[in-house]
């Protein structure tokens, strides 16, 4: 069983958290939500899905987790305005542990400056941001580059979840 950190804030893309979290739990893994404030309830941007933060980012350490899920929506943009989430993501990517990115999720590792030379995908509105960060953008439903698993949008969810679970089982 792996312990997966899901870094999340208000206005996340509902299915980009709920579907992977459900699949990870069904596969026997534990998902812990990490956010700016423990106990705060964040809401999804489309369905207002409530998610309560299990652990504050200032109490989280990558040593406590085996993988990181970053749902898209507006959540990554909110989080990258704060130093601790950016540091957490930087440390996670650099650790070599699996990092699962979907849609706008790449905004956090872009701000963490850890994408130079990496290959990934993401939502069409951040393609230029990905390229400006020094990464190679590929327009595919799922891209695996070492410890990074990335997808473009909710329509890629099945492939994203499949590759993420494969990465957890390596």
pLDDT, tens digit (0-9, with 9 covering 90-100), for 79-132:
999 999 999 999 999 999 999 999 999 999 999 999 999 999 999 999 999 999
**Other beta carbons less than 10 A from residue 3's beta carbon:** 12
pLDDT in tens, 142-160: 999 999 999 999 999 999 9
Q: What whole-number distance in Å separates Cα of residue 14 and Cα of residue 107?
A: 17
Average pLDDT of the chain to the nearest whole number: 97
| Angstrom distance (rounded) from CA 158 to CA 2 | 20
pLDDT mean over 9-15: 97
- The 10 Å Cβ neighbour count of residue 117 is 9
pLDDT > 90 fraction of the chain, expressed in percent and rounded: 99
> Which tokens sit at 71?
């749902």
Domains of the chain with bracketed CATH: 3-168 (3.40.50.880)
State residue 168's pLDDT score: 96
Place of tokens 């650790």: 95
Asked if 129 and 119 count as a contact pair (C-beta separation under 8 A), the reply is no
Could you list the active site residues? 103
Q: What is the pLDDT of residue 46?
A: 92
Q: Closest Cα partner for 114 from 123, 97, 66?
A: 97
DSSP the chain: --EEEEE--TTB-HHHHHHHHHHHHHTT-EEEEEESSTT-EEEBTTT--EEE-SEEGGG--GGG-SEEEE--BTHHHHHTTSHHHHHHHHHHHHHT--EEEEGGGGHHHHHTT--TT-EE---GGGHHHHHHTTPEE--SS-EEETTEEEESSGGGHHHHHHHHHHHHT-
Q: Could you count the other beta carbons within 10 Å of the beta carbon of residue 2?
A: 18
């Amino acid at each position: 069983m792996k312990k997966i950190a899901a870094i999340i804030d208000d206005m996340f893309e509902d299915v980009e958290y709920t579907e992977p979290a459900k699949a990870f739990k069904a596969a026997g893994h534990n998902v812990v939500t990490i956010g700016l404030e423990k106990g705060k309830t964040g809401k999804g941007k489309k369905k207002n899905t409530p998610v309560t933060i299990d652990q504050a980012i200032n109490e989280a350490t990558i040593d406590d987790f085996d993988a990181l899920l970053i749902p898209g929506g507006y959540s990554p943009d909110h989080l990258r305005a704060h130093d601790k989430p950016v540091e957490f993501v930087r440390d996670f990517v650099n650790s070599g542990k699996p990092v699962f990115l979907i849609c706008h999720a790449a905004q956090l590792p872009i701000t963490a400056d850890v994408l130079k030379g990496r290959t990934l995908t993401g939502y069409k509105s951040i393609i230029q941001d990905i390229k400006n960060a020094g990464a190679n953008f590929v327009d595919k439903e799922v891209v695996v580059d070492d410890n990074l698993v990335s997808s473009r949008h909710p329509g890629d969810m099945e492939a994203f979840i499949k590759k993420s679970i494969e990465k957890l089982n390596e």
